[in-house]
Every structure is written in structure tokens, then in C-alpha cells.
Amino acid sequence: MFLINCPYCGERDQQEFKAGGEAHIERPKQPTELSDDEWAEYLFMRKNIKGVQFERWNHAHGCRKWFNMVRDTSNDEIKAIYKMGEKPPAQ
């Protein structure tokens, strides 16, 4: 449980947010040409990092907007928050 600084609403309780999993997984540009292995990679395989991870979050009980977060999953410390479409900060 922690506080999240929504880029649109400011600091709110994590309870208001919904985690959306790993960020920057690009949807395949040519889905019809994908092999089963590539589909599995896109749909199911995750880095699931212990340490600094890039994630998507949604302010579900607030502005309902999506944004990105850089968080250390070993101690839940938030390193950076940036809007969708913005370049991820260098780590």
C-alpha cells in the first residue's frame, strides 16, 4: 500500500488505482503474420522483474486515465511517473 502521484490529479491512495501490468509491450504491427511462438510471447510472457520495472497504471476511481510508472518491485518505491506516449526515463 502506497501513495501514487497521478499526473492528472496529484497524490492519491493506491486503493484508487488499478495496476495494468508491464508497460511498453508493443502490439504486433502485422498480427496476421505472427507465429504461435510470437503470439505467446506477446500475450503471456512477462519479465516479472524483482527490482525496477516499467508498468501501466489506471486511476480507476479518479480521472480514469492511464499513465506509466517506474517502480522498484522489491520495496514498492516509485521512481518515476510519466504520461502515456511520453518517453520512459533512462534507468
44-83 binders of other proteins (CB under 8 A): 44-50, 53, 55, 71, 73-76
Part in contact with other proteins (CB under 8 A); list of ranges 26-34, 41-49, 81-89: 41-49
Distance CA 72, CA 63 (A): 25
Q: Does 5 bind other proteins (CB under 8 A)?
A: no
CB 18 within 8 A of CB 10: no
Helix (H, G, I), strand (E, B) or coil at 31: helix
Q: Which three cell numbers stand for residue 46?
A: 512477462
- Write out the residues near other proteins by the rule CB under 8 A: 1, 14-15, 18-19, 21, 36-37, 39-41, 43-50, 53, 55, 71, 73-76
